[in-house]
Structure 1
Amino acid sequence: MPKFAANLSFLFKEYPFLERFAEAKAAGFKAVEVLFPYDEPASEIAWRMQDLDLEMALINVPPPNYTGGERGFAAVPGLEERFRRDFKRALRYAEFLKAGHMHIMAGKAKGVVALETYKRNLAWAAQEAPNMSLTIEPINPHDMPGYFLDDFDLAIEVLDAVAELNLGLQFDAYHAQIITGDAMAAWERYAPYVRHIQIAGAPERHEPVKGLIDYPALFRAVDDSGYSGWISAEYMPKTRTEDGLEWFRQAQSA
């Protein structure tokens, strides 16, 4: 049976951030992820997770949040020094929270120079943090125009070129559906590279039900593949988070 985590940057937003951990636990989740936890002291987050017996599945790099900030710098030529500085800060945060993965965001860039910059920065990060699992995630160009990593084949090209054991693919089924038109086929093709999974309904990014993705079938395929990591719910609830968790209860009892 798949293991599900709650993305607290998307779910339980009816509550102040630090209260969302307890709400996730009460709903039955055993792990959480937070895209950008840096506005809160790491010690406060760690204490709440320890008290609730929750795991931190993943955090994003770089530290700044989406409010007026860039979506990463890893592929942006000329910002190598900033990337390295922000990565080191994020790594300290991730290690303190015992995060399972760090998602390295590429940022907005295009072209051959950006590709080579991306590869060099990822290779440096993998060597800087040899004991940390690092991920890269293709993000569809509709949701994030101009984002460098907007294609799964490009992600595989990069992973093969960097060839570091602690660097892998973050498979967001919602983005896979929008990018490729077939999330299940994308899973079957790219599963060997996958370190972490995220889910949301397509095309509207609500609860993972009644959309273009057959999630019961995808969950079975993930189980059959031997994947043992977390599947994180990263969607925008239509109403209150608790009112839309029937998919979670059904998946747990399947």
Structure 2
Amino acid sequence: MPRFAANLSMLYPELAFLDRFDAAAKDGFEGVEYLFPYDFPAAEIAARLQANGLQQVLFNAPPGHWEAGERGLACLPGRENEFREGIARALDYAAALDCPRVHVMAGLMPSGLSREMLEATYIHNLRWAAGEARKTGRDLLIEPINTRDMPGFFLNRQDHAHAIVAAVGEPHLKVQMDLYHCQIVEGDVAMKVREYLPTGRVGHLQIAGVPTRNEPDMGELYHPYLFGVIDEVSAACGWDGWVGCEYRPARGAVVNGTTDGLGWLRALRG
């Protein structure tokens, strides 16, 4: 069975953020991820992790002005200094939280600039950032995101993400493969897991039901089959990453709504 991490930006929405660590541990999760830690001192988050025996497996680098709609800086010409400051801050948090990987969002494509210019900026920024991550022994991840949930996002497909990783040429840059986004944009998810997991360039997986982004026992993907594929391929190639549960509980922000929706996980655990 894959190792599952609770995404605390989406799960347990009825609780204050710091209380979600306790709830995830009570439900048997051993790892957690979330979007951003920067509203809280790293020491305070680290204390919650330690108190609950949890491993921090992933979070995002600063994305620019999130509240204003920005979704990353990596592909944006003219924002290089801000990008570098954000990477430095993310790596400081990663060290304090003993987190092995950080997701770097590509950003939305500005009007009036060519894809070629954006890609050149993207590769240049990622090459620098991955070099910084290498110094700390951590990985940076890039994630293709579907164009329905995030219109205008620069990176949408698995093949493009892997081409970017190859172009950057740094071993500490990998792909964050979200099966929810992959299904919406491309489909053929099981074959893509078989294709890309053995490359060593996939650093993290994420799941959610398609199309509603609720629990993975809802929607058009049959996750028990996909978990079997992940187990099979992992055993063959030695992949030992985490699967992030990045979905919105169908019951919403009600008491025990997330816990009551974990029947899919309890079934896997037997």
Normalising by structure 1, we get a TM-score of 0.96
Q: Which residue of 2 aligns with 1:18?
A: 18
* SS at 2:68 equivalent: coil
Q: Which residue of 2 aligns with 1:206?
A: 214
**1:32-47 alignment runs, 5 A limit:** 32-47=32-47
Question: Is the counterpart of residue 196 in structure 1 residue 204 in structure 2?
Answer: yes
* Aligned counterparts of 2:77 and 2:269: Cα–Cα separation in 1: 45
1:101-143 CA deviation, whole Å, 9 max, x = no partner?
1001000125101001100111101111211111110000000
Kindly indicate whether the alpha-carbon contact (under 8 Å) linking 2:63 and 2:71 is maintained by their aligned counterparts in 1. no
* Aligned counterparts of 1:202 and 1:63: Cα–Cα separation in 2: 25
Residues 38, 149 of structure 1: alpha-carbon distance in 2 compared, 3 angstrom cutoff: same
Kindly indicate whether the alpha-carbon contact (under 8 Å) linking 2:63 and 2:73 is maintained by their aligned counterparts in 1. no
2:249 pairs, out of 196, 214, 237, with 237
**1:154-173 alignment runs, 5 A limit:** 154-173=160-179
Q: Which residue of 1 aligns with 2:228?
A: 220
Q: Which residue of 1 aligns with 2:254?
A: none
Q: Residue 221 of structure 1: CA displacement?
A: 1.0
* Aligned counterparts of 2:269 and 2:171: Cα–Cα separation in 1: 31
* Aligned counterparts of 2:191 and 2:66: Cα–Cα separation in 1: 31
Amino acid corresponding to residue 211 of structure 1 in structure 2:
G
Amino acid corresponding to residue 80 of structure 1 in structure 2:
E
* Aligned counterparts of 2:188 and 2:14: Cα–Cα separation in 1: 32
* Aligned counterparts of 1:98 and 1:166: Cα–Cα separation in 2: 16
**Aligned-pair Cα RMSD in Å:** 1.3
Amino acid corresponding to residue 71 of structure 1 in structure 2:
R
* Aligned counterparts of 1:65 and 1:15: Cα–Cα separation in 2: 25
Q: Which residue of 1 aligns with 2:121?
A: 117
* SS at 1:242 equivalent: helix
Q: Which residue of 2 aligns with 1:75?
A: 75
Share of identical aligned residues, percent?
47
* SS at 1:17 equivalent: coil
Q: Residue 189 of structure 1: CA displacement?
A: 2.3
Q: Residue 94 of structure 1: CA displacement?
A: 1.2
* SS at 1:36 equivalent: coil
Residues 94, 69 of structure 1: alpha-carbon distance in 2 compared, 3 angstrom cutoff: farther
1:193-230 CA deviation, whole Å, 9 max, x = no partner?
21101100001110001322121111111111122111
Q: Residue 96 of structure 1: CA displacement?
A: 0.6
Q: Which ranges of 4 or more aligned residues in structure 1 deviate by more than 4 Å?
A: none
Unaligned runs of 5+ in 1: none
Kindly indicate whether the alpha-carbon contact (under 8 Å) linking 2:63 and 2:105 is maintained by their aligned counterparts in 1. no
* SS at 2:13 equivalent: coil
